[in-house]
Structure 1
Amino acid sequence: MTAHVPGEVPADAAPHAMPHATPDATRDATQDAISGACPRGFARLMPRSLLARNIVLLIALVAVSEVCSLSVLLHYVQRPRVERAAAVFGEYITKLDSVLATTPRASREALVAQLDARADVPPDALAQPPTDPLQFYRTHELGIFLETLRRYLPAGSDVRWEAERARGAPQRMWLRVHIADAPYWIALVLPEEAQGGRLIGALLFALSLGVLAALTGFLIQRHLNRPLQHLAEAARRLSAGEAPAPLPLDGPTEIAQVSAAFNQMTQALQQAEATRAVMLAGISHDIRTPLTKLRLAMAMAGAPRDEPFTHAAESYLDQIDTILQQFMDYAGSGEREAARPGDLNGLVSQLAADFAGLGHDFDLSLGDLPLVAFRPISMMRLLMNLMQNAVKYGGSGFAVRTWRDAHAVVVAVGDRGSGLSAAELEALKAPFQRGRNAHGGTSGTGLGLAIVERIARLHGGTLQFHPRDGGGLEVWVVLPQ
């Protein structure tokens, strides 16, 4: 089916699908344009919504601050404490080694047994503590402790880390000392400063503060986003032809300024719409009054009458009246009409019966549709325009199909006529645009598809063009459930 509005679309149209810019597609295009300013790889990783982006940024900032705080804590607080503990412990080992070295040889065996000393280091003892990513702070402090301790040990001494200990048992290390001038290995408990126990509490506290900060930021951002969501919803309602309620002005100053500007814009648009409707109604009234008088004068004119001239004049008057009606239809495409649930299949069947009475049969393929909220007069005007254009420009193969999917209800009006190209069909949605052959024998203002498109958007739907199997074109009216 070609562009189906009286006087709008010629009969030589190409059966191409008409791309339609949905609100989601427009929003994605806008998001892509904004993301174009960022590096492509970085923009691809960023979330789509402002809320998600701010939360990601907040979490990143909290994580960076936590890492910086931990670095400062480890390097400027914990490291000096561990090094001092290692120095004190090294001095203790030096004195212990000196005392044990002067022990009489006769007392060596008793002292070795008392200290549980060993001649050889245990095979599982390690030169460095094992690396544990989950306890990096402990590994870091132990490494600093052992490195510093080796600098304070006496000549001939060494230190090894005891690898395996039972859960809850204190950490130990093996030290090589001299008992009666003979080298032995003894186990000593690691100082508390080197075990990182106190640091665990500090880390957990810092992590809790980070989580609290992220949660607080999330709640604040949601609070700031709520007015933006109201603004977006009001803008969608305004674009659909509805009159949204004024936005509240009790939010933050910047948001309140945007809301106030939007309220002023909405009021100005409503006033302009009302002025346009009054102006067109006045023009229609003022023009139709002399036209009516002219018809009456022609009817009352006495003989002799020029019948061909009279017939042509009446035809021109009918065309002028049709043009005026199209202007009025475009000026008020049902904004003031209340939507209520109705049987869309019943409306299609009623219109198909009316066209059949005029000698134009439409094949019906009606699916199982739920009750759909629509404006009865506006929807009847939309479907009637499409079906009239199918008859006027399609020539044959008139059909109407209805079906539903998960999110929408679709009414498709089709014919077997040749169609316009996709670009031409899209252009005909704009007001005062006419097809290539519309000026040769057809009358109209170029408002037909603009009226249909406007009524579809008023119902939150879209108008789409699709090629028809076997030739021809279908116009789809897609309405949300």
Structure 2
Amino acid sequence: MATPADSPRREARSWLPRSLLSRNIALLVALVALTQVCSLSALLHFVQRPRIERASIIFSDYVKVLDGMLVAMPPAESRAAAARLNAQREVPASSMIEPPMNPLRFFRSWQRDVFLEALRRHLPADMPVRWEIADNDQEDEARLWIRVHAAGEPTWIALPMTADAQASGITTAIVLSLGLALLAALTGWLIQLHLNRPLAELAHAARGVSAGETPAALPTDGPTEIAEVSRAFNQMTDALRQAEATRALMLAGVSHDIRTPLTKLRLAIAMALPRGTNDGLVASAESYLDTIDTILQQFMDYAGSGEREAPQPGDLNALAGQLVADFAGLGHEFDFEESTLPSFAFRPVAVMRLLMNLMQNAVVYGRTGLSIRTWQENGFACVSVRDRGNGIRAEELERLKLPFSRGNNARGHSGGTGLGLAIVDRIARQHGGSLTFLDREGGGLEAVVKLSLNPSPFTRSTSTAPRT
């Protein structure tokens, strides 16, 4: 039973990549990003920070030497020297003790803050430092203000901090790292595409097998792991093909061997009971023989299901109309609602058997409200056979497509094997379609068959053995 805690987990999983390609790329990008973050952290902490601190020590030594010279000089010469350095009594109001961080220039701002912190640490307390950014907010034109002593009085001098003075190779390293990360992700994507191609072929072939088709052998010249899976799949399809060929041969032999004594039995009955002596017994015996013959034919139909028949372009409406006319000749009237359908490739005998089985079921179990409707929907030609019978429970609908399954309303009918709907379902899947059952509005049952208007190469190909 699901708990409230399961909902956040499901939501989190829904955001995760679903395909192997996207997961591998995400993992690769995450690993590269983690590697770059760790490398950058190590570079900043163990390489760049010591370099900046050493530069601040050298810079502070120069400033202290300059301050010592101004203090040692006579007052007039000291003031003249300070004037040549554009010294000011007051620091500009635009200068700042703690300049703001620029997110667009994060690393340059970080280097500036590390430099100012180290510089303040190595200068005397009476020599404060302030940072001024130009009016146009360009960091490239920033100035560093330091208070020195000229003629015994505090004086502020400005030292320009040019782009060359502030720049380092860290930006280039970051750009190069991002480029390498993108290159790694692109390489992983190309590799995964190469791996996904045989996997997609394998999935397509597996779907073909599940639909009762016979796919061509998969190539085994790819990566070792995928080639091994392809070889195992080819061995499986070969084993299925051989098993089903053996089954078809066995059923054909059984049918032939049983029908031979049945024919002799029919002849013996006719000779032993001359016409008029016991017509009721003869009719009953011939009815039983016909039932056995019908059951044998259903077994053979299920074993073959039209797989050896070559698809050819045809008109589904014309085929359905022909069957409607045939059933009307037998006294079973079907209303026919046809829509415009394009000509498409299908196995005419197999599709005729499909429609006949559905129409026969409607006649036997529905009896009234018989109708057929055709239409086109999402690349499929659709045909439904409807009746006004007692219907069937929803849980029985899918079970009826299994071989030898019969509904409760079929228990009183003889001559069936429970293979009719299994044959219909197999033929529909061979044509890239499906068989579904719906409760008909107003009572009754509707069997809907969809046949693909653009069947796959597997569906169009013929096979040498039936599928189960």
Residue 267 (structure 1) aligns with = 238
How far, CA to CA, are the matches of 2:317 and 2:86 in structure 1? Answer: 96
Q: CA deviation at 1:198?
A: 1.7
- Conserved 8 A contact 1:171-1:195: no
How far, CA to CA, are the matches of 1:420 and 1:340 in structure 2? Answer: 35
How far, CA to CA, are the matches of 2:375 and 2:134 in structure 1? Answer: 71
Residue 217 (structure 2) aligns with = 246
After the TM superposition, which residues 106-185 of structure 1 pair with which residues of structure 2 at under 5 Å, given as runs?
A: 106-107=76-77, 109-164=79-134, 169-185=140-156
Q: CA deviation at 1:305?
A: 3.1
How far, CA to CA, are the matches of 1:369 and 1:133 in structure 2? Answer: 63
Give the fraction of aligned pairs with identical amino acids, expressed as a percent. 59
Q: CA deviation at 1:165?
A: 6.0
Secondary structure of 1:428's aligned partner: helix
Residue 24 (structure 1) aligns with = none
Q: CA deviation at 1:474?
A: 1.2
Residue 6 (structure 1) aligns with = none
How far, CA to CA, are the matches of 1:88 and 1:162 in structure 2? Answer: 21
Residue 272 (structure 2) aligns with = 301
How far, CA to CA, are the matches of 1:439 and 1:344 in structure 2? Answer: 32
Q: CA deviation at 1:194?
A: 6.6
Residue 315 (structure 1) aligns with = 287
Secondary structure of 1:242's aligned partner: coil
- Conserved 8 A contact 2:248-2:304: yes
Q: Deviations over 1:294-317 (max 9, x none)?
A: 112222335473221111111111
The Cα RMSD (Å) is 2.1
Matching residue's letter, 1:142: R
Q: Deviations over 1:322-381 (max 9, x none)?
A: 111111111011222222332222212221121222222222222222223211111111
Residue 451 (structure 1) aligns with = 423
Residue 467 (structure 1) aligns with = 439
Residue 201 (structure 1) aligns with = 172
After the TM superposition, which residues 58-457 of structure 1 pair with which residues of structure 2 at under 5 Å, given as runs?
A: 58-107=28-77, 109-164=79-134, 169-190=140-161, 195-303=166-274, 305-457=277-429
How far, CA to CA, are the matches of 1:351 and 1:44 in structure 2? Answer: 50
How far, CA to CA, are the matches of 2:439 and 2:73 in structure 1? Answer: 105
Matching residue's letter, 2:130: R
Per chain length, whose mean CA-contact separation is higher, i.e. which structure has more relative contact order (CA < 8 Å, sep 6+)? Answer: 1
How far, CA to CA, are the matches of 1:85 and 1:178 in structure 2? Answer: 23
Cα distance 1:341–1:89, how it changes in 2: closer, same or farther (>3 A)?
farther
Matching residue's letter, 2:290: D
Q: CA deviation at 1:108?
A: 5.2
Q: CA deviation at 1:111?
A: 3.5
- After alignment, is 438-447 or 82-91 more displaced? 438-447
Unaligned stretches of 5+ residues in structure 1: 1-35
Secondary structure of 2:437's aligned partner: strand
Q: Number of residues paired by the alignment?
A: 445
TM-score (normalizing by structure 1): 0.87
Cα distance 1:124–1:472, how it changes in 2: closer, same or farther (>3 A)?
farther
TM-score (normalizing by structure 2): 0.90
How far, CA to CA, are the matches of 2:9 and 2:192 in structure 1? Answer: 25
Q: CA deviation at 1:112?
A: 4.0
Matching residue's letter, 2:394: A
Q: CA deviation at 1:120?
A: 2.2
Q: CA deviation at 1:40?
A: 3.5
How far, CA to CA, are the matches of 1:321 and 1:360 in structure 2? Answer: 24
Matched, 1:40 2:13: no
Cα distance 1:409–1:93, how it changes in 2: closer, same or farther (>3 A)?
farther
Cα distance 1:56–1:105, how it changes in 2: closer, same or farther (>3 A)?
same
- Conserved 8 A contact 1:102-1:181: no
- Conserved 8 A contact 1:130-1:163: no
